[in-house]
Amino acid sequence: MKTIKAIQVSALFSNDLKSRLVARNIRNFILEKQYVSVTIDFKNVTFTSRTFMDEFYNQVVLNPKFKTKIINMSSDIQSMFDAVKATQHKSREYKNESDHVFTFSSVSDVNNYLNGLSFL
Amino acid sequence: MEIKIKPRIKDRNFISGFQEALKIIEQINQHKDEDITLSFDNHAFVSPLFITVLLIYLKSHNLKYKIEVGKNNYISTIYFEKEGLKPEDFPLHFNQKLSSYRNKTYLPIISFSTKLECNDERNSLVSAIETILKNQVGLQPNVLIGLKYLISESVDNIVEHSESERAYIFAQYFKTKMFLDICIADNGISLLGSYQKVNFENISNHVEALIAAQSGKSTKNLPDAENRGFGIKTSKNLLINGLGGNYLMISGEALYIKTSEVENFVKMPPTISWKGTIIAMRIPYQNTNFSYINYVE
């Protein structure tokens, strides 16, 4: 059983954390090293996608096999973390979109419909 | 059968490329059993939306086709004939190859692997694409971060859900109008295939699948949780409310349109469908007050 001082995410992985796979790689790294307590350092991390953060939260922060302490998140990345944390169990209401579905039988009908819409 | 391609794409109207592609697809459908030659006019202007919709359609239906570009160098330069520029064809100097586009107004169609084991290469590639776009367009850091978000969420969805072997990205910017068009696409199982794979209830056609995806219904929520499905919603919120852009998604025979004024779904005519999913975004890139984090749900 080992405790590591800190995992430098930007040095070990990337400054830009873009995918769920990267979060799984962080989890796997910790499991392979058999750490039971880790500090995860986000210094120099400039970007995370929401999908990365969701996977990071569920696979790393909530992982029952080790404890984590997170340091040096920038304000934007902390906001992303907070947004993900806040929506884990949010029960969502889904709109009925049937009024917004248009069915066409020909290309010219589709194009006529699209001509009536405003785009940039 | 030769199909002459001289689209009338208005660069000030985002949807115009899609409409012109539909007209070509209609002609292709009339000659599906023949060898088709797509013959581009020497001066044909094409947009990412036009090209991506056409390319994914051709690949979806395993059509035999030949491309003739005549003197239209642009079609060759964007690698349409080769179905995209592939990093593995330039194993030692792909970034150098990409950087040759730094003074252009576009990036070619880039076709890259979606295999899980290629994650590092894919992330490097996407970062290189973002850097080229940043330098081409002169993106400010606040908009660049938004662009990173839009690209990374789209690519990650392809990797996680599409079961496509490859993904495609194609971009072009319009200097005088100050917007950037990006298409990101795959040739996978489509949204419907992804929902059906996990026996998702009440989703039995492409329109229902597209509605579910836009609402944030995820095939991979954790048990007793609704932690997923926020990526697309946040992308749309950021792009439309944050940057004032347009968003379009095509999957199977369904089309989704989202602008500041409309949010509609279209079921295409029975003869027209794509195997896979296409996302197209028009991104205005001049907004000094924009901060992506304000739009994260």
> Does residue B279 contact residue B158 with C-beta atoms inside 8 Å?
no
Q: Which two tokens stand for residue A24?
A: 């799984």
What is the rounded CA–CA span in Å between residue A58 and residue A80?
14
Per residue in B89-132, pLDDT tens?
A: 998 899 899 999 989 999 999 999 999 899 889 999 999 999 99
The residue of B174, B233, B250, B257 whose CB has the most chain A CBs within 10 angstroms, and thus the best one to mutate to test that interface, is B257
Q: What is the pLDDT of residue A93?
A: 65
Q: Read off the pLDDT of each residue in B208-224 and give the average, rounded to a whole number.
A: 79
Instruction: Identify the weakest region by mean pLDDT among B49-53, B197-201, B227-231, B286-290.
Output: B227-231
A16, B123: Cβ pair inside 8 Å?
A: yes
Q: What is the pLDDT of residue B220?
A: 67
Per residue in A66-80, pLDDT tens?
A: 999 999 999 999 999
Question: B25-57: buried (b, 16+ CB within 10 Å) or exposed (e) per residue?
Answer: bbebeeeeeeebebbbeeebbbbbbbbbbbbbb
Q: How would you classify the pairing of strands B166-174 and B106-113?
A: antiparallel
Q: What is the pLDDT of residue B209?
A: 95
Q: What is the pLDDT of residue B293?
A: 92
Per residue in A27-48, pLDDT tens?
A: 999 999 999 999 999 999 999 9
B73 pLDDT above the threshold of 80: yes
Q: Which residues contact B55 (CB under 8 A, 6 or more apart)?
A: B80, B83, B84, B109, B168, B185
Residue of A nearest to B253 (CA): A103
Q: What is the pLDDT of residue A88?
A: 83
**Distance to chain A for B71, nearest Cα, Å:** 30
A79, B12: Cβ pair inside 8 Å?
A: no
Q: Which residues contact B271 (CB under 8 A, 6 or more apart)?
A: B29
Share of chain B above pLDDT 90, in %: 77
**How many pairs of residues across A and B have Cβ atoms under 8 Å apart?**
161
Nearest-CB residue to B257 (from A25, A115, A117):
A117
Q: How confident is the model at residue B230 (pLDDT cuts 50, 70, 90)?
A: confident
**Distance to chain A for B66, nearest Cα, Å:** 24
Of residues B107, B145, B150, the one with CA closest to residue B129: B107
Q: How confident is the model at residue A26 (pLDDT cuts 50, 70, 90)?
A: very high
Q: How confident is the model at residue B201 (pLDDT cuts 50, 70, 90)?
A: confident
If you ran DSSP here, which 8-state letter would residue A60 be given? I
Residues of chain B positioned with their CB less than 8 A from the CB of A95: 215
Range 73-132 of B in CB contact (< 8 A) with A: 116, 119, 122-123, 126-127
What is the rounded CA–CA span in Å between residue B210 and residue B190?
9
Report the complex ipTM.
0.92
What is the rounded CA–CA span in Å between residue B65 and residue A51?
38
Q: How confident is the model at residue B226 (pLDDT cuts 50, 70, 90)?
A: low
Residues of chain B positioned with their CB less than 8 A from the CB of A73: none
Share of chain B above pLDDT 70, in %: 97
Q: How confident is the model at residue A5 (pLDDT cuts 50, 70, 90)?
A: confident
B15, A119: Cβ pair inside 8 Å?
A: yes
B21 pLDDT above the threshold of 60: yes
B259, A113: Cβ pair inside 8 Å?
A: no
Q: Which residues contact B270 (CB under 8 A, 6 or more apart)?
A: A105, B253
Positive or negative, the CA dihedral B80, B83, B84, B86 is: negative
More confident residue, B229 or A69: A69
A49 in contact with chain B, both atoms CB, cutoff 8 A: yes
B226, A106: Cβ pair inside 8 Å?
A: no
A92, B246: Cβ pair inside 8 Å?
A: no
The residue of A96, A107, A108, A109 whose CB has the most chain B CBs within 10 angstroms, and thus the best one to mutate to test that interface, is A107
Q: Which residues contact B130 (CB under 8 A, 6 or more apart)?
A: B144, B147, B148, B151
What is the rounded CA–CA span in Å between residue B56 and residue B273?
10
What is the rounded CA–CA span in Å between residue B82 and residue B88?
13
Q: How confident is the model at residue B225 (pLDDT cuts 50, 70, 90)?
A: low
A97, B245: Cβ pair inside 8 Å?
A: no
Residue of A nearest to B243 (CA): A120
Q: Read off the pLDDT of each residue in B233-242 and give the average, rounded to a whole number.
A: 95
Q: Which two tokens stand for residue B168?
A: 């495609």
A5 in contact with chain B, both atoms CB, cutoff 8 A: no
Residues of chain A positioned with their CB less than 8 A from the CB of B296: 50, 79-80, 83
The residues that bridge with B265 in the sheet, in sequence order, are: A101, B256
